[in-house]
Structure formats: structure tokens, C-alpha cells
Amino acid sequence: NTRVLTGITTSGTPHLGNYVGAIRPAVAASRRDDVDAFYFMADYHALIKSDDAGRIERSRLEIAATWLAAGLDPARVTFYRQSDIPEIPELTWFLTCIASKGMLNRAHAYKAAVDKNTAAGEDVDAGVTAGLYMYPVLMAADILAFDANQVPVGRDQIQHIEMARDLGQRFNHLHGHEFFVLPEALIEEQVATLPGLDGRKMSKSYDNTIPLFAGGKKQLREAIMRIVTDSRLPGEPKDPDDCALFTIFRAFASDAETAAFRQALLDGIGWGEAKQVLYERIETDVAPMRERYEALMADPSAIETILQQGAQKARAIATPKLAALREVLGLRAMT
């Protein structure tokens, strides 16, 4: 079977982009008989971006409840919280010791920070923590600890998967053995990247998101009404191919519904009315999941039990893996 692994950073409230880009395809993949799915709440990654403990905890609960409400069956997958797996930070250190600093200098997340500082005339590393710098190594440990074959990612993450491969390969080469499975990025071409309220990629860190469940249908509608549009009036044709509403609509609708919405835009439907159509389409899909979500959020201890069981399943793989690695690295217990 193919091992597929993916995580969501617990840095905020799950949004439509997380659902369309990660959760919906991952839940579909987990139902396949030829796939063993490993899905986790990336709370160590969240510490890179946030020191707000309450936010991280709330986000973790919301994300776990979202996966389950979207139809994830914890009996079929290994569903866990990253911070329940001590083997991950342990492996991170082993990989850190073979990661070249030059490779990490080229990592996108770090380079973006450097470019921003340079443009602002500041010290290149101003505000950059070692955590941000090391983030690709932590991500490599997430993947290599479980011998994952495939990691579904957006294009911006391909480089990090290559770094995980690179680290796995270097370790295998140094220690003369196939210790690590080398992972591949799985780019799902048909999965859309949703724009946020301001037209940039919808992202928790840009604060431009449309929450999937939080706040109920009232907040979903209000957020959709706030999506930025151009100043074309009702009656004036709108360009579907340059329109956040259309991109989001298409991610939820059938081909026939999409064609009808495209025509409505070309025919000059007003933005207010178009937003109402979008809201109703999304609400049709979201309403039954939201009911399950609210029931799950009302009982955090049931989620905790599921995560504890997931951690046991995950550690049943990671613990012997790390024991074997300690052995080859010369970290044996004295007899």
C-alpha cells in the first residue's frame, strides 16, 4: 500500500482553502483500499508562527473536529497530534546534524523573510528565529519517521519535500542502508488554490480567510459578502476568469452549475446576487458537516480519546524506527 501523509498547522481556524485544498481530497484518499493515510495536527510547526498558547490549543481542537466532521474515519487512518510523538523531535535532531546549512539558506520560507528584510533595508535575519530556519528539517522528520511514500502538497511546498528526500538519501548513503523511504510530492492538479477575501491566497497567516464552520452560517454569509470585487455594476458583464467568487464557486460546484454561474457573470449578474448564489452553494455542502462539527466541539474529551489512540498507532511505527536509527548512529545503551 501507498503511505500518504499530510498535516495542517494548528495556527488558526480552518478555512475553505484548507477544506478544498487538503481536507476534502485527503478524506477521499483515506477511503481507498490501496492507501494507508497518516494525517496529523502540526502543532510543533504552529510554534514557529505563534506564541499564543490559547490559540494553538483552540486551533488544534477545531482542526481535529474539522477532519472528523468532514468524514475522516479514525479507524481507517492514523490520525494524531504531532506533539504526541516524541520520536519526531528526536529524528529532527538526527537530521539536523546532516542537513547542510547552505540547503536551509535556500528554503522558501527563510528566503522570503530574508528578501523582505533586504527590501526594507534591515538586517537580513531580523526577526528570523532558528525555528523558522529549521522548519524544513522538522517537516522532513514528520515524513521520514513514518516512511511516507507520498505527501500531497501545493506547489509552494515541493521544495520542502525535495529537502526531505535529500536528507533521507544522505542518511541512507552515510549509513549504507535503505533506512528511509524517499518521499514524493503529490501535486493534485485538479485541486484549486482558493483566493481569500483580499484576492491573495486564502491563508491563516494573512487573516483573509472564510472560516469553514466557525461562527455558523451567518458568519459564512457575512464573510462571503466581504470578498473584494471590482466596481462593475449590475448589468455590466463580469470576467469569470479574473474573479475570486468564481474560483471559489467552481471548487464546490458540479460542471453544470459552474457553467451556469459563468454565464450569469457574463450576463452581468450583480455582485451582491452572485455572492448570495455562492453562499447558498457552499452552505449546501457545509451544513451537514457543520452539525457534526458542533457536536464534536461540544465533547473535547471524545476527540482527546481519538487522538490518544492515534498517537499509539503512530508510535507503534515511529518507536521501533527510531530505535533502529539510534543503533546505527552509535547511540546504543551501555551493556
Is 247 a binding residue for ligand ATP by CB under 6 A? The answer is no
**Are 210 and 239 a contacting pair, CB within 8 Å?**
no
Query: Residue 213 Cβ, how far from ligand ATP at the closest point, in Å?
Result: 15
Instruction: Choose between 26 and 314: whose C-beta lies nearer to ligand ATP.
Output: 26
Is 8 a binding residue for ligand ATP by CB under 6 A? The answer is yes
Instruction: Choose between 4 and 325: whose C-beta lies nearer to ligand ATP.
Output: 4
Query: Residue 81 Cβ, how far from ligand ATP at the closest point, in Å?
Result: 14
Pick out residues in 28-57 that bind ligand ATP (CB under 6 A).
49
Instruction: Choose between 154 and 270: whose C-beta lies nearer to ligand ATP.
Output: 154
What sections of the chain are H helices per DSSP?
Answer: 16-18, 24-30, 43-49, 53-69, 87-96, 101-105, 108-119, 130-144, 158-174, 216-225, 244-252, 255-266, 271-297, 300-329
Query: Residue 16 Cβ, how far from ligand ATP at the closest point, in Å?
Result: 8
Instruction: Choose between 202 and 325: whose C-beta lies nearer to ligand ATP.
Output: 202
Is 203 a binding residue for ligand ATP by CB under 6 A? The answer is yes
Instruction: Choose between 196 and 321: whose C-beta lies nearer to ligand ATP.
Output: 196
> Which residues does 179 contact at the CB level (< 8 Å), separation at least 6?
168, 171, 172, 324, 325, 328
Is 21 a binding residue for ligand ATP by CB under 6 A? The answer is yes
Is 193 a binding residue for ligand ATP by CB under 6 A? The answer is yes
Q: Which three cell numbers stand for residue 184?
A: 514524493
Instruction: Choose between 203 and 258: whose C-beta lies nearer to ligand ATP.
Output: 203
Is 159 a binding residue for ligand ATP by CB under 6 A? The answer is no
Of 232, 137, 157, 257, nearest to 201 by C-alpha is: 157
Is 66 a binding residue for ligand ATP by CB under 6 A? The answer is no
Q: Distance between CA atoms of 134 and 212, rounded to whole angstroms?
A: 31
Query: Residue 220 Cβ, how far from ligand ATP at the closest point, in Å?
Result: 16
**Are 42 and 9 a contacting pair, CB within 8 Å?**
yes
**Are 202 and 244 a contacting pair, CB within 8 Å?**
no
Of 199, 328, 220, nearest to 276 by C-alpha is: 220
Is 129 a binding residue for ligand ATP by CB under 6 A? The answer is no
**Of positions 3, 11, 39, 246, contacts ligand ATP by CB under 6 A:** 11
Of 140, 141, 120, 138, nearest to 129 by C-alpha is: 138
Q: Which span sits near ligand ATP by CB under 6 A: 68-76, 88-96, 202-210, 271-279? A: 202-210
Tell me the three state secondary structure of residue 128.
coil
Is 154 a binding residue for ligand ATP by CB under 6 A? The answer is yes
Is 223 a binding residue for ligand ATP by CB under 6 A? The answer is no
Is 59 a binding residue for ligand ATP by CB under 6 A? The answer is no
Of 20, 6, 96, nearest to 286 by C-alpha is: 20
Q: Is the dihedral of CA 46, 19, 216, 269 positive or negative?
A: positive
Residues that bind ligand ATP (CB under 6 A): 8-9, 11, 17-18, 20-22, 49, 154, 193-194, 201-205
